Structure 1
Amino acid sequence: MAATRPALCLLCHVLLVAVAAAAGDDRGKIGICHGRVGGNLPAPQAAAALLRQNGVTRARLFLPDPAVLPAFAAAGIDLVVGVPNENLTFLASSGPEGAARWLRSAVLAHAPAARVRYLAAGNEVLYGDQSYAPSLVPAMRNLHAALAAMGLEGSVKVSSAHASSVLAASYPPSAGAFDAAALPVLRPMLRFLADTGAPFMVNTYPFISYANDPANVPLDYALFGAGAAPVRDGALAYTNLFDATVDALVAALEKEGFGGVPVAVTETGWPTAGHPAATPQNAAAYNAEIVGRAARGVGTPRRPGVPVEVFLFDQYDEDGKPGAEFERHFGIFRADGSKAYDINFA
């Protein structure tokens, strides 16, 4: 007799808890994104040393920069290595052999495989200009096949980082559903993630949700504030937008039949300038709560006890980033190595 959907969801949750327990608190550790869209940034060796000095041993790189990879690898930092969107067409069309050539020359020539945890194929490919979308899943499959041929498929996982706008519905969290227009790409991707044990990666910014809609997104709710009124969703209660967004994604995964796929938050953070709510005090409050929750392995209301792997954005301010002024002020550290606000990663 076929299992019912509630029974399947319960089984998926039990399996996720078991995986998290088997791995200790490994998945709940905090990483930091290392962007380099700016001038006067410290040398990669100094950036890597700064992370280690602060107890951070994971980083997300947005591209396989041949100057950054060896510096971070030599410092013993485990990496999410971004595969640039513009490389996806070649990787999709060149087969596993072409993907292997790219891997060897772009990544493994500069960092040992032991330091690479994930390849993030593309960033927000399904947001805005979607010209690379048809190449995304074929590129992921070829990269995985190349890793398998090298005997690395068990240690290096392939995924892709998505904007949270990949959800067409997110309120209440149990109503979470993917954008129908993205499903022709997402459904084969979800099958791939489930088959290979890779997480669904998402970039989510409660600050931006608040800045775009302050009338409906209370600041306390975006900031993990103690005064935030709980949002009831059936038997569950949400006191912050971060949990609500992750669980909306979990609900969307469950609706597609992939409730066992873990979620990794590959970008989140709070800026320190460029908006009335972008202050060092608010950034400290938000990021400290993210770090503390990861350390405690609290999970989310829909997946209690299942740690969410999180990468805070960003190590430094990036003055070359386009867009609103706040986009250039997410730095946790200043260029001289001092902290932009008080935060402890230990």
Structure 2
Amino acid sequence: MRVYDPIPETLNALKDSNLQIMLCIPNDKLQALTDPKEAYNWVVANVINYIKQVRIRYISVGNEISPLIARSSQFVPFLLPAMENVQRVITSFRLNDRVKISTAIEMGLLANTYPPSQSTFRGDVTSFIKPIIEFLKQNNAPLLANIYPYFAYIGDPEHVSLSYAIFAQPEPDSSGYTNLFDAMLDSIYYAIGKVIGENKVEIVVSESGWPSEGGFGGSMGIATIYYRNLIGHAKSKAGTIHKPGKPIETYLFAMFDENLKIGAETERHFGIHVFRIINRRFVEITLHFPFESFEVQCVGVCYGRNGNNLPLAEDVVNLYKANGITSMRVYDPILETLNALKDSNIQIMLCIPNDKLQALTDPKEAYNWVVANVINYIKQVRIRYISVGNEISPLIAGSSQFIPFLLPAMENVQRVITSFRLNDRVKISTAIETGLLANTYPPSQSTFHGDVTSFIKSIIEFLKQNNVPLLANIYPYFAYIGDPDHVSLSYAIFAQPEPDSSGYTNLFDAMLDSIYYAIGKAIGENKVEIVVSESGWPPDGDFGGSMGIATIYYRNLIGHAKSKAGTIHKPGKPIETYLFAMFDENLKIGAETEKHFGVFYPDKTQKYNLTF
């Protein structure tokens, strides 16, 4: 939490909260703190009296003080002396390793910011900023920086594209950047390096935000995309081009809309929460935007093995654990994989291949399969789902021959699972593809094709009876490349700011809701949930396959799935989703793109710096 003006009410409320605090000293208090005694009194009153119960990490001495800004230039002579005095007091209490003294700057101090590598501090501010940076370097403290792509965008919309400003530009610009936030952050790093001859000063982003209304560029849809993407990017280990491979400590601006702020109307609408007084005794605090921050662990990754250069199963399991991936879809259970999963605490979706279904119409074979692949491992492996078959459909020549076996196999496997009293723990389902649907736009009109209704209805009734979700493979990628004239790329990759005529801002939700609506029409109600058993985007191989586009898709999908946004038809909850796939699989048949859906390379390095 960043606290702009410490008062006892706030500091007392923070006791034992375990929230890390950035404590700010307002600009108009700085002159007083040039007196060492006043600095001592301030530190004792606001830091020492609370430090045992409040996690104070930073003290920001002033905010956006600059020789170039009329409202703050009068504070320039007081800034560095105040910082030095506060630092001396913090050091005297031996807190200098725990509490870092800094100040927050704004981007107007910079010149020549494009490309970022050419950035410098303006000549008329160098004498002001250089001693501050030397102070930070000497005390091993970061510079605080308020970074707002929003203001850069509205200041020059002809040259700064919206997609670049909100992390939605698939391909890099001429300087190698795909988003403005990184370019602005690196501009400061490069300028620091030039002013002191090296750069050993880190940067903490002390403010960044986007307004939800109030003027040009202020939009709930745009702000949702910006905040969601900023959170995902900051938490990932992507870093920037100049400072790669680490998260970016970032403070969102702000917690609430502030109706007394002066300036443009947008200034009052940066809050990410809405505060409403219900009556004298109750208030309601709700999120403007459903963020990944408020997350549930529900994103898994599919482990396909159709390659001749893939790691050993034990190494794969360790890779899942090292990256915080808590769920795995396994397409064909083999001893090597199941043994490697023992005691891993990874939740498993275990698949039965289509060509095994005919055998499982025999109850004895179903019993043998469950014992061999489930019962023998259930004490050490967290098997959650069994997917009986994958994308079996009367409309697909390569799978229609398995239709007579699907439901009998599901029923037999269910009976065995129930006989072992595992029916509440292990759920039996099957994975469908969206080609079973008709009339999918708008999603509320969606139905199953007439010629598949008799096939799918009995499956759905089975799932409802056993309180089991339907598994669905949902690929906006294929919808996009199948009809790029009518399906926009921004809609397909969660980068469309405003809703379409049916109310949807992204194709993933529209496809998912289409299935929900079709289920409701098939059985007269909808009490069957859906788990997205596959979704992905290739980085190369054919039309639409791009590293930049795939990065945006996976990052946005993870953020959206883990949030509590849900869909229009099923709002307010996470969407359990499995990314396809863990690795590129060089032996897969079909289009070249089919070989390139991995989020990791076979050498176990990440493609996209995703945070799971």
What range is the shorter-chain TM-score in? 0.7 to 0.9
SS of match in other structure, 2:532? strand
Q: CA deviation at 1:72?
A: 2.4
Report the counterpart of residue 43 of structure 1 in structure 2: 312
Q: Give 1:74's aligned amino acid.
A: D
Report the counterpart of residue 527 of structure 2 in structure 1: 260
Q: CA deviation at 1:338?
A: 1.4
User: Which structure 1 segments of 5+ residues have no match?
Assistant: 1-23
Q: CA deviation at 1:232?
A: 2.1
Distance change (3 Å), C-alpha of 1:225 and 1:231: same
Report the counterpart of residue 358 of structure 2 in structure 1: 89
Q: CA deviation at 1:114?
A: 5.1
Report the counterpart of residue 34 of structure 1 in structure 2: 303
SS of match in other structure, 2:329? strand
Find the partner of 2:507 among 241, 248, 263: 241
Q: Deviations over 1:134-159 (max 9, x none)?
A: 11111111111100111111100000
Find the partner of 2:564 among 273, 276, 297: 297
Partners of 2:504 and 2:590 lie apart in 1 by 31
Q: Which moved more, 1:308-317 or 1:167-176?
A: 167-176
Q: CA deviation at 1:195?
A: 1.0
More helix by share: 1
**After the TM superposition, which parts of structure 1 deviate over 3 Å for at least 4 consecutive aligned residues?**
106-114
RMSD of aligned alpha carbons: 1.7
> Structure 1 residue 53 and structure 2 residue 322: aligned?
yes
TM-score by length of 2: 0.50
Q: Give 1:166's aligned amino acid.
A: L
Matched ranges for 1:1-346 at <5 A: 29-92=298-361, 94-95=362-363, 97-110=364-377, 112=379, 115-126=382-393, 127-129=396-398, 130-227=400-497, 230-233=499-502, 237-256=503-522, 257-345=524-612
Partners of 1:332 and 1:34 lie apart in 2 by 11
Q: Deviations over 1:272-311 (max 9, x none)?
A: 1112431222111111111111221211011111322100
Report the number of matched residues. 315
Report the counterpart of residue 99 of structure 2 in structure 1: none
SS of match in other structure, 2:544? coil
Q: CA deviation at 1:107?
A: 3.8
TM-score by length of 1: 0.87
Partners of 2:341 and 2:554 lie apart in 1 by 22
Bigger Rg, which one: 2
User: Which structure 2 segments of 5+ residues have no match?
Assistant: 1-293
Q: Deviations over 1:191-219 (max 9, x none)?
A: 11011111111111111111121111111
Q: Give 1:245's aligned amino acid.
A: M
Q: Give 1:319's aligned amino acid.
A: N
Partners of 1:198 and 1:115 lie apart in 2 by 17
Q: CA deviation at 1:259?
A: 0.8
SS of match in other structure, 1:322? coil
Distance change (3 Å), C-alpha of 1:113 and 1:190: farther
Q: CA deviation at 1:25?
A: 6.7
Contact 1:64 1:107 in 2 (8 A): no
SS of match in other structure, 1:232? coil
Q: CA deviation at 1:73?
A: 3.4
Identity %: 34
